[in-house]
Structure 1
């Protein structure tokens, strides 16, 4: 079995582990900490790389299970001073793997090391792999990582952020988080799905990667609505312009809702007023037994509502950080 490590949205480790086990039946989890999982599987690199709910995944050559702080250089010297590289087998990641570079990371941030140490690592890796050094646009990246949890890795990067922060529109959620929100909704191929606060369509984009029957997409803002119509022009996707407290849908018309309401105030409407009207509509359109997954900064309002509600029950809650802001993910069931 090959060893991998992957990073994910902190706070959702339970969801990630369950989905990994579902996708990779032979999975053996070696370590799970907040935001990172180390595991073994016979699955191919292509299968691991295709897991959309993970931020980045790496093929692990060596797992340093216990390191002291500032051991990054020591890890590098261990790799290139021993016969480790001679025994190392580099898997094929791309159809053309001819060049490489070395990346060094300390506690989740890139960190430079002494030039002679870097050059030694580059020369030894080049000799062992017969790859050509290219520090600007390589085919492959070999990473030395020292983590804050007191562990380290020498690994090959398999994936890159599907969309970097600069590619995201203002307020747009990362695709990995959207994918996890959709997974929490227990997706089925006969789902009639709703996102009434669609914005840029980030959640919808990920839900379309999973089989469904019908998708309803709501957005109050006229400009965003027009963009959504252009982006998601499909027969089984219906885009409408409406307030989430007055949805143009029939009673019991959907069985899954995944959404990210405005954070704080929206167009001078108080959060409590917005959520009261929103939940009233969700109670009307969501079928009994249906699932609502809600990402929100208004955790107290949601909890108070659920305490008093006879229409909804809380299945699970997860505390997460979104762009540095505290938020909650609520999995709620219509009863």
Structure 2
């Protein structure tokens, strides 16, 4: 069966790697990637074939939503003919009945109908409006889907997402709910990382059971929570200078199992011995966050010097940064023991950012 993972722009490939690594084998083996699609500035979509149960998909942490694909259409015309193509694909598609059944099984319901709503998105030079796309899909659902379905504006039993990327239509049913995206009752701050992004950063540190893991600028603690969820560890440490952040940090790690320590500290003077730490993941302040871009080179330089000091040889640093050039200049000038690795460009709150990987030589 064909599924789609939805995640933060730029995280599609990392979300796929997590699915490939974690999903149990089905009758036909492991999941098979069908393709990556982008809704610019909004989401990445990962399309893949999976023969196993759907519920394990809801445990993936680098994704924010899970869908089962009900219908696809290709070479969709950009005019009224395209709307007729979309209607036909969504009404008569061979996968409609099986995907509605999968939706019922995943949600644990037997209802043969109910309320539905359509979320329509389009990318390209279509001559029709987004609402026309939504109307074609909703008409197809009402006219041809198994059961009796009634269109509503909000709070529906079933969410149908119709994404038109240039000439390709992807019509999906949402299997996840808000809990997958928000991760329970975490207290967030204005600059807090979204959990899916934090989970992707944690995975890039290559978690191991004996890790001493540190987030030197922990904010509300999202990276700490995601590291605890990623698997066994020896110790997790996090801290921040802000009283508000430290309060949120204490609240968010309360109840997380394992040796988790939080402190008020300055990331440029950390309370660890040389080479004591295995992994560091950090959301480095952007210019707007600290109020003056002129201070970034100084902050990055002093922080990297300290990170090099506490990291063991072979240790990993994963940093999210808004100005990767400034970070590289700081590394080249003061922290050459950090060997640069892969970079991953993402969109964070509408702004371009980069996840940078480093290894301590």
**Fold shared by both chains (TM-score > 0.5):** yes
Distance in 1 separating the partners of 2:138 and 2:169: 20
User: Any conservation in 2 of the 1:191–1:255 contact (CA below 8 Å)?
Assistant: yes
Distance in 2 separating the partners of 1:10 and 1:227: 27
> Normalised by the size of structure 2, how large is the TM-score?
0.81
State the Cα RMSD in Å. 2.8
Distance in 2 separating the partners of 1:31 and 1:115: 24
Give the CA deviation at 1:97: 5.1
User: Any conservation in 2 of the 1:72–1:106 contact (CA below 8 Å)?
Assistant: no
1:75-94, Cα deviation, whole Å (9 max, x unpaired):
44204664748855521221
| 3-state SS of 1:186 partner | coil
Indicate yes or no: 2:118 matched with 1:94. Answer: no
Structure 1 85/63 Cα, relative in aligned 2: closer, same or farther at 3 Å? closer
Distance in 2 separating the partners of 1:263 and 1:152: 37
Structure 1 254/121 Cα, relative in aligned 2: closer, same or farther at 3 Å? same
Indicate yes or no: 2:155 matched with 1:137. Answer: yes
Give the CA deviation at 1:147: 2.0
Structure 1 76/302 Cα, relative in aligned 2: closer, same or farther at 3 Å? same
> Normalised by the size of structure 1, how large is the TM-score?
0.87
1:180-203, Cα deviation, whole Å (9 max, x unpaired):
111111111221110011111122
- Tell me which protein shows more helix as a share of its residues: 2
**Of 121, 146, 159, the match for 2:176:** 159
Give the CA deviation at 1:105: 1.1
What is the aligned partner in structure 1 of residue 316 from structure 2? 291
Aligned residue pairs, count: 329
- Runs (5+) with no aligned partner, structure 1: none
Indicate yes or no: 2:289 matched with 1:263. Answer: no
| 3-state SS of 1:93 partner | helix
| 3-state SS of 1:318 partner | strand
1:143-170, Cα deviation, whole Å (9 max, x unpaired):
332124x311222111244239xx8531
User: Any conservation in 1 of the 2:215–2:239 contact (CA below 8 Å)?
Assistant: yes
Give the CA deviation at 1:327: 1.2
- Runs (5+) with no aligned partner, structure 2: 39-43
What is the aligned partner in structure 1 of residue 58 from structure 2? 49
